[in-house]
Structure 1
Amino acid sequence: MKHRIQHSTGLRERLPDYAARLNTTAEALAEAYDWMLAHDVAFESPSRDGTVTQISCLDIEQRIEHPLARRFFAALRDEMPCKLLPAYGKNWPTFVDRCRRMWELVYNILINKIPSHNLRLAWLRLGGAKIGKGSAVWRHTEVIGIESLTIGDDTCIGWHCQIDARSGLVIGNHVTIASHVLIVGGGHDLEAPEFWSVSAPIRIEDYAWITSRAMILMGAHVGEGAVVSANCVVSKKIEPYVIVAGQGAKPVGTRVRGLNYKVGGKGLFTLLH
């Protein structure tokens, strides 16, 4: 199977560092890495920033026959900001995953419509989300992949957003995500007849502002204090304090530095939000 999730760029150049951590030689780890590429455990693809390494988005550690490749896959998996899907079958990880999917289904059908910040956040936290102090997720916002969602302090996600955290979504402190924003962490391989899934983590840094109807796609990294304008589609790195707009998320200006405000998403007058 070739369902995969992006790990990083330039992994092959960092193999000596991983070899030291795994207490092996760089040559042995390079051989194990090549084995992973040949057996659909890891994948490489070119990009404008270098060679991107992806790994299987299924937790297939126990199925990997090569001992060192098995250890290397586990090390790469543990660096991901998300939980990989289980190797489905009649096993405990599959049962836990099914329970999580039911938990988020109840949230998206019922809980996210209840006018209580505390109840909604408690449901998300019990489902595995990490949400900081003073943050808010307003009503009618849907969340997928609750267990792979991380939100910092004093961050606000507005009305009617769709948040896909299955590939790992990390949102910093004092972030404003306006209403009707789409955050999509995955897609499908259009060059594969089997329609394999492809995905990548998304990161939104402190004080970023995502305005209404923007779309943040897999692999996006919105820098500190950056602004994504309305109806803009972002699938790349946005530098800190840069304002992007229009087709291709082109820079149109810069934002003032030294930001120190609070979003305040759960004040007295947002009771019904």
Structure 2
Amino acid sequence: MALSDKIRRFLQRISKPTYTVGKGNQVSFWTTGVHHVQFGGGNLIPENCAFADKTLLGFRTTLGTNNYFGGKAILGKYCQIGRDVAFHSTNHPISHLTTYINRQLFNGELKALKTEQPIRIGNDVWVGHGVIVLAGVEVGDGAILAAGSVVTQNVEPYTIVAGNPAKPLRKRFSDKIIGELLLLKWWDLPEDQILKLKPLFFQTLDEVQSIQDFLIPLK
């Protein structure tokens, strides 16, 4: 590696410092609202993320830069969140005289008219770049929210959705495989059992009829 590259990398590291919170949670110095976060362990929070209310991050769930949590949100284990993703679990009032709830009107008293519905994201969910998830949405385990989607309704487990508003494209696997995966709940297994399942993680599941053969080592 050239000296100039080493210098550039060094400058990048010192300009994007991180600190450790709890058990192995790495948080960027440039993230705000961390006091709202309940960490599950092994979480990675890069720069320019913001948390406005109580947020629960499951074990080893990682965020992308510029993630915004504008209200209560619960994320499961082993989720990966892309860049510029926003979770909006609050809504401005739409049945009153105004939607304006800024402190510059009545000292912000109109904020009491906001509504809130927590967002719940399952385990092993992939949220693509630029996704917006709106209030009250529940996303099932193993789902994929395609880049740029605006998710306004619940998403079934192991389903790919895309668009604005997001619509189901297809299920990732057969109903039988999905049922078996939901029973397996690999994300809840201890490390030693996940290691025994390693071959399953490298298998293309649309080429098998059942995952049972891969579960023999667990017995």
User: Does TM, scored on the shorter chain, surpass 0.5?
Assistant: yes
Which of 53, 69, 74 is residue 163 of structure 1 equivalent to? 69
Residue 35 of structure 2: aligned partner: 127
1:115 matched to 2:17: yes
Distance 1:138 1:234, change over 3 A: same
Name which of 47, 50, 54 aligns with 1:139: 47
| Structure 2 match to 1:12 | none
CA distance in 2, matches of 1:179, 1:126: 18
Shift of 1:142: 1.6
Please point out which of 117, 124, 146 is paired with 1:200.
Answer: 117
Specify the code of the residue in structure 2 equivalent to 1:218: A
Q: Kindly report the root-mean-square deviation, in angstroms, between the aligned alpha carbons of the 2 structures.
A: 2.5
Residue 212 to residue 117, structure 1, CA distance change in 2 (3 Å) = farther
Query: Deviation above 3 Å: which 4+ runs of structure 1?
Result: 119-126, 256-261
Q: Which amino acid aligns with 1:238?
A: V
Query: Which runs of 5 or more residues in structure 1 are unaligned?
Result: 1-112, 262-273
Larger RCO, structure (CA 8 Å, separation 6 or more) = 1
For 2:170 and 2:67, the matched residues in 1 are separated by 26
1:211 equivalent in alignment to 2:128:
yes
Q: How does 1:1-273 map to 2 (within 5 A)?
A: 114-118=16-20, 121=27, 127-145=35-53, 148-164=54-70, 166=71, 168-195=72-99, 196-256=113-173, 257=178, 258=181
Q: What is the aligned length?
A: 145
Instruction: Give the TM-score taking structure 1 as reference length.
Output: 0.48
C-alpha contact (below 8 Å) 1:152/1:173 kept by paired residues: yes
2-structure distance, mates of 1:117, 1:260: 29
Unmatched 5+ stretches in structure 2: 1-14, 100-112, 188-219
User: Which residue does 2:104 correspond to in 1?
Assistant: none
Which residue does the alignment assign to 2:208? none
